Amino acid sequence: MIASILPTYSRAPLTFTSGEGSWLTEADGRRFLDLGAGIAVNALGHAHPALVAALAEQAGALWHVSNLYNIPAQQQLADALVDKTFADTVFFTNSGTEACELAVKMARKYWSDKGEDRTEIITFTGSFHGRSSAGIAAAGSEKMTKGFGPLLPGFTNLEFGDHDALQAAASDQVAAIMIEPVQGEGGIRPLPDACLKGLRDLCDQHGILMILDEVQCGMGRTGKLFAHEWAGVTPDIMLVAKGIGGGFPLGAVLATEDAASGMTAGTHGSTYGGNPLACAVGAKVMEIVGDDAFLAEVNRKAGLFRQKLEGLVAAYPDVFEAVRGSGLMLGLKCKAANSDVVNTGFGQGVLTVPAADNVVRLLPALNIPDDDIALAVEKLGQVAEQIKGDDA
């Protein structure tokens, strides 16, 4: 008999009933150090008092109004994002997937309005852009697309890091190139700054729109508000979600005035996108994470964490191979099976997230206390000891 919850996830036998900061409490009372943060969602940890207050205050005033009317919290958040980024305009969604949908529509509409037949979007292996028809066609992996055809046409999936293939595919017929500055699901694979710069040049050369998917790597995760800032280039369109709502469902598409020029009244919409509850929380997240002093702390913590992780890898070369990533978007490339590391972690009271390429992701709350960073590495050391013991 099928489970009453559609069985698309194989879930760990854990049921969390409350959370505070970087910690989650299981129904049986055990406490877990959360290095997954809902897969980079709980950017400020669990139950951050300022976010709880923002949500409660908005909940007491007004839950929902249609986008047929003005929504002050949405305006406030849009203004803050425009103020702090390359973008001139923002559309709010409820998820990263919906942001991907709009980005694809926006790019195609841009060229359609110019009377040009440019619909092709270049994407890369190992990427993840959500599970909608556009999202899976964009990622192009067998695992995500098998059985779901016919796929949305118009995506060319190139080998990640194959510069020659990219040079050959880029032309004045291409509508857009979509890429994650740091691949998340693909195994914490950062695009070197020089490559992102080169990609910007290539896009400029052919008039191609550059779409960055910062759903996982954005919102302070790498130590800049958005990851592309490290390379000193800006996209035309950007997808944001996960961290922006701090745990409340919220996503966004940010764009330049030019890239967004096709999206006039009636061309797109969302019932829930940009609702008062989500935007009240999002505005508070933005206020905290968008602060330079906060981002400086993320960088300091990231340096501390990374240094300790390098020590861990050196101490357990049979279990771990390397540390990779940017800021607090960290990956442990494993020699043992990454699933063993994650599952053994459950017993040691530490939560990590697997990714492709045999990597374990560490995506802690951006405000994780230094003591918890030290404890995290200690627990990961115990995990490695146990795996070594099991193998012996």
Ligand X SMILES: *Cc1c(COP(=O)(O)O)cnc(C)c1O
Considering the complex, what minimum distance in angstroms separates the CB of residue 72 from ligand X? 25
Residue choice 34, 101, 213, 236 for contact with ligand X (CB under 6 A): 213
Pseudo-torsion of CA 129, 131, 137, 143, nearest 10°? Answer: 100
Q: Is 123 in the site for ligand X (CB under 6 A)?
A: no
> In Å, what is the CA distance from 179 to each residue of 90, 128, 186?
19, 9, 12
Residue 252: enclosing H or E segment and its boundaries?
Answer: strand 251-255
Residue choice 36, 130, 190, 223 for contact with ligand X (CB under 6 A): 130
Residue choice 58, 95, 275, 326 for contact with ligand X (CB under 6 A): 95
Residue 102 corresponds to which tokens in the numbers above?
């709009």
Residue type, 340: D
Considering the complex, what minimum distance in angstroms separates the CB of residue 335 from ligand X? 25
Considering the complex, what minimum distance in angstroms separates the CB of residue 392 from ligand X? 37
Residues 6 or more apart whose CB falls under 8 angstroms from that of 312 comprise 320, 332, 377, 380, 381, 384
Residue among 87 and 383 whose Cβ is closer to ligand X: 87
Point out which span in 94-102, 275-283, 315-323, 331-339 binds ligand X (CB under 6 A): 94-102
Residue among 253 and 313 whose Cβ is closer to ligand X: 253
Residue choice 74, 85, 97, 367 for contact with ligand X (CB under 6 A): 97
Residue among 210 and 313 whose Cβ is closer to ligand X: 210
Residue among 122 and 383 whose Cβ is closer to ligand X: 122
189-190 vs 182-183, strand pairing mode: antiparallel
315-325: b or e for each residue (b if 16 or more CB lie within 10 Å)? ebeebbbebbb
Residue 202 corresponds to which tokens in the numbers above?
């290539």
Residue choice 42, 85, 157, 216 for contact with ligand X (CB under 6 A): 216
Considering the complex, what minimum distance in angstroms separates the CB of residue 93 from ligand X? 9
Residue among 143 and 314 whose Cβ is closer to ligand X: 143
Please give the Cα distance from 124 to 187 (Å, whole number): 13
Residue among 75 and 132 whose Cβ is closer to ligand X: 132
Please give the Cα distance from 128 to 111 (Å, whole number): 24
Considering the complex, what minimum distance in angstroms separates the CB of residue 55 from ligand X? 19
Are 289 and 225 within 8 A, CB to CB? yes
Q: Is 211 in the site for ligand X (CB under 6 A)?
A: no
- Footprint on this chain of ligand X (rule: CB under 6 A): 95-97, 100, 128-130, 180, 184-185, 213, 215-216, 241-242
